[in-house]
Structure 1
């Protein structure tokens, strides 16, 4: 079964949003509300609240876990307090139902109607340290959530991997680029694996170093042949012009 995730910005549900405001000491507080939807099954809908204090990720509520988790000393204290508050627990359950569950069908219908399959390319380049760098790019896809991973001999690779932010194309589609700085052995099989909601199965592109070398040789050979042809053409034109200007050839013609 396909597994994908939609993140819904609940700006549509302002009733439950926390106003961004500074407290009496000038510290900034705000919260982001999210719905993670994996299928049409309502039981699988995940509701999350990310709470920030002075630009620091302080704590998070996760409906799957069923409570708050603190990530800072203040966040740990506040999370512990809220987890013991039966009214807060009830409020989060109501928010999940109203913000996420009640709107799953509508959002999935809209999203599925506009899904766009990514076009994927895999190229080789050279990094700043003169090591081999592979670039896997996914273009023109929708919705935004996508996973681009690298595999070596069937195992996922995380070392030496950097991924760009998912960037908008200026319309409703997106693009993303993943970079792998790596020097594989000749027997290694390196692949870029792309997973997206529009795909019934992952797209897999294999990198073949021998193919890249042959392509470069073919390109160099083609350029040389083109230059050589241009030289012969130039010599032919020069010879023809000389004959055209020679009176002996002109009289014969």
Structure 2
């Protein structure tokens, strides 16, 4: 359903009233019938746009995420995430509506039912159609030198299909969220995708840092460990020590050769 809401000239009070009536009408329909998908505001964007989608990271139906993205005037307003179990608002209006939905017990139960009907019940059908084209990601874990004393790790996933993938960082068994930057999932142009996740942190002597990759082509999550047995400064010290030992060995060898030559001449 499309509903034109002209808001270009705020001096026209009639248009403003029509705009509010449109919003109220659409909100009513969405809350009680779920039949409204969007309401065009102009030729460039949407007055209201709601995107429902499922995300499969593994083959287990219980692991599927049901998400709803709500946009208002092209602004990302709020999201429902079945893993979290509630709505999260990102704007002042989104915070109000998210709180209202989260306190509505019927809304909570309906989202659980929607996840089951839309996502969980279609898991087998999805995998049957995708098995022929599915591609497992190739993973690399590398360290980047930075100007600071922190360490920058890059976990990259290449040549995977389908698009949805989950890349997380774990430090000593606990998931890390601070210092993490994730790029958009980008296409390779051949139907496969790649993505990169960055972690910047100050390593400790006994830290165990891992990159965990979840994708529906994988029977279980893949874990890639970073060797943090010693940090960058310690590595430099070890490398310097090794160089000094090598230099000493060369000097000692030269001295022994020179001594033996003198003995042979005498």
Deviations 1:31-81 (A, max 9, x none): 21223457686x987655432211233455678999988765655469959
The Cα of 1:123 is off from its aligned counterpart by 1.1
- Compute the displacement of 1:18 (Å): 2.5
Counterpart of 2:193 in structure 1 is 174
Secondary structure class of the residue paired with 1:199: coil
| TM-score of the two chains, using structure 1 as the length reference | 0.56
Aligned match of 2:220 in 201, 205, 212? 201
Task: Give the whole-Å Cα distance in 1 for the aligned partners of 2:188 and 2:176.
Answer: 28
* Structure 1 residues 99-154: Cα deviation after superposition (integer angstroms, max 9, x where no partner): 65775543321223322111111111123535321111111112222222222222
Structure 1: runs of 5 or more not aligned: 1-15, 222-253
Summarize deviations over 1:2-21 as a string: whole Å, max 9, x none.
xxxxxxxxxxxxxx672451
State the match for 1:21 in structure 2.
40
Distance 1:17 1:133, change over 3 A: same
Q: Structure 2 CA distance, aligned partners of 1:186 and 1:196?
A: 31
- 1:142 aligns to 2:161 (yes or no): yes
Tell me if structure 2 keeps the 8 A contact 1:143–1:173: yes
Question: Contact 2:137/2:157 (CA < 8 Å) preserved in 1?
Answer: yes
Distance in 1 (CA, whole Å) between partners of 2:139 and 2:169 is 13
**What runs of 5+ residues in structure 2 fail to find an aligned partner?**
1-34, 244-266
CA–CA distance in 2 between the matches of 1:132 and 1:120? 19
